[in-house]
Structures are given as structure tokens and as C-alpha cells.
């Protein structure tokens, strides 16, 4: 009788040099004696997803990171209601049917990870937020902030209706929005000197500046925000919380 093959999980995105997910999961598998492996699948375009799935018959689940959280949706056979509401997928459960077919179901664990991470830092003064960026991650952040009773507005280089441009961030706007979340890749390793173009001099100790980036652990956005008195936090705790939720989804 043949032994069951080791399960494989992984991450799709491009690039992946910044990601800690592979080390996190493989360390967890080792410490808990789980017979599984986590692999980085750095794919230059989302169409390569199906090749990853077909070439890895033991693949049981995937995480999705920049820039594919929205682009991956058309490849899903089914989408969880929360992910559909958010409009972004960062967890894929790979389901093998009895007939040998493979089905992909999309979920979103970013919203819950972020919500649980930022909740202890929200107070009555922090009831409005600026979300920097409009990509897939920002949609989950928007959902989490609304869940917490915080009124968010998106800030974009090319704003749509009901969004702000970076040039709209006047002292009055900054004073009115005490939570600022960086959902852009600006400042991510290896481009660690970059940061969003906001008026950092308008920040105060009442402000919370949260960066989804966790590599480096102190980004330029965080450093400049802290220098002007703001409370800062990086995305490492969110990563760990959403990774834990991913594992739960894969093993439902």
C-alpha cells in the first residue's frame, strides 16, 4: 500500500522576495509535526496560476499576494460570500472531487487579520481613516474598518468618484482622519526608501499610521510618521493572523 503524498501549500505573487509566509508555514509544519511543505510560486502573470495547479498534484491550498488578489477571481470556480463582498481573494482552497476534477474556491482572510490586529488601537478619536492605495488589499482593509465603525476613504494617484487624490490631503483632511493605512507597496523590500506622499508634518499623537508592509519591520512611512508623533504599527501581526485563518480555511 502506497503512503499518502505530502501535502503542498504555497504563495502566488510577483515578486515574492519580501514575503515571510514560506518560512512561517514551514516552521509551523516542523514544530507541529505536520507532513506538509509550503512553496513560493513567483509567477509573472496570473494566467500561470493554472499551470502551477496542474504541475503540483499534491497542492492543497494557496495564498495570494500582490498584484493578484483581484486578478485571480475569474479563475475561481466558487467564491466565499465574504471574499465576494470584499472583491478580493487572498486564500484559495484546492478541492479534489471524487471524479478527479480540481475546483478552486476563493476566500479572504486579510479583512479578519487586519481587523483583529488594529481593533485594540481604535478609540473614539480614531473614527475616520485614509486608505492609501486602491488595490486588492485595500478592499479588505475597507471592509475591516467599516466593521469596526471607522469611516474610511480611499486615496489614490488616479482617484475615482468618492476618492481623494494625494493633493487633496490638506491639513484639515489630515486632522479629520486619525487613522492612515498604507496599502501600497511603497517602502517594501528592497525599495525601502520609498513611502507614500502625504503631509507627514500634519500628523499628531492622536494619529495611528498602520503599514501593511512587514519587511522591513520599520518602513520609511512608519519612521516619518513616528517622527511627527503618530502611533505606528506594521503588518506582521496581520500576516500571522491571516496565515492562521488560511490554515483553518484549508482544513475546513
Predicted confidence (pLDDT) per residue in 29-60, tens digit: 999 999 999 999 999 999 999 999 999 999 99
The H or E element spanning position 244 is helix 236-250
DSSP 113: H
Give tens-digit pLDDT for 129-148. 999 999 999 999 999 999 99
pLDDT at 1: 39
C-alpha cell at 184: 501600497
Cα 139 versus chain centre, distance: 10
Beta-sheet pairing, 91-96 with 59-64: antiparallel
Q: pTM score > 0.85 for this model?
A: yes
pLDDT bin (cut points 50, 70, 90) of residue 3 is: very low
* Catalytic site includes residue 69: yes
Give tens-digit pLDDT for 172-228. 999 999 999 999 999 999 999 999 999 999 999 999 999 999 999 999 999 999 999
C-alpha cell at 109: 482572510
pLDDT at 4: 56
What whole-number distance in Å separates Cα of residue 171 and Cα of residue 4? 61
Catalytic residue among 7, 69, 178, 233: 69
Amino acid at each position: 500500500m502506497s503512503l499518502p503524498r505530502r501535502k503542498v501549500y504555497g504563495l502566488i505573487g510577483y515578486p515574492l522576495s519580501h514575503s515571510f509566509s514560506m518560512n512561517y508555514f514551514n516552521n509551523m509544519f516542523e514544530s507541529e509535526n505536520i507532513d506538509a511543505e509550503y512553496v513560493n510560486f513567483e509567477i509573472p502573470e496570473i494566467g500561470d496560476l493554472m499551470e502551477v495547479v496542474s504541475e503540483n498534484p499534491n497542492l492543497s491550498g494557496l495564498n495570494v499576494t500582490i498584484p493578484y488578489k483581484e486578478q485571480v477571481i475569474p479563475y475561481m470556480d466558487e467564491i466565499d460570500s465574504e471574499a465576494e463582498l470584499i472583491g478580493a481573494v487572498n486564500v484559495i482552497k484546492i478541492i479534489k472531487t471524487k471524479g478527479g476534477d480540481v475546483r478552486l474556491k476563493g476566500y479572504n482572510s486579510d479583512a479578519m487579520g487586519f481587523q483583529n490586529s488594529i481593533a485594540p488601537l481604535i478609540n473614539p478619536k480614531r473614527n475616520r481613516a485614509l486608505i492609501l492605495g486602491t488595490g486588492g488589499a485595500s478592499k479588505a482593509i475597507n471592509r475591516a474598518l467599516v466593521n469596526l465603525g471607522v469611516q474610511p476613504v480611499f486615496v489614490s494617484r488616479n482617484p475615482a468618484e468618492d476618492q481623494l487624490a494625494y493633493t487633496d490631503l490638506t491639513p484639515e483632511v489630515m486632522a479629520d482622519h486619525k487613522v492612515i493605512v498604507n496599502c501600497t507597496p511603497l517602502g517594501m523590500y528592497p525599495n525601502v526608501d520609498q513611502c507614500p506622499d502625504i503631509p507627514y508634518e500634519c500628523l499628531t499623537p492622536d494619529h495611528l499610521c498602520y503599514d501593511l508592509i512587514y519587511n522591513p519591520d520599520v518602513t520609511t512611512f512608519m519612521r516619518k510618521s513616528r517622527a511627527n508623533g503618530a502611533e505606528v504599527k506594521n503588518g506582521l501581526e496581520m500576516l500571522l493572523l491571516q496565515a492562521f485563518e488560511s490554515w483553518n480555511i484549508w482544513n475546513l
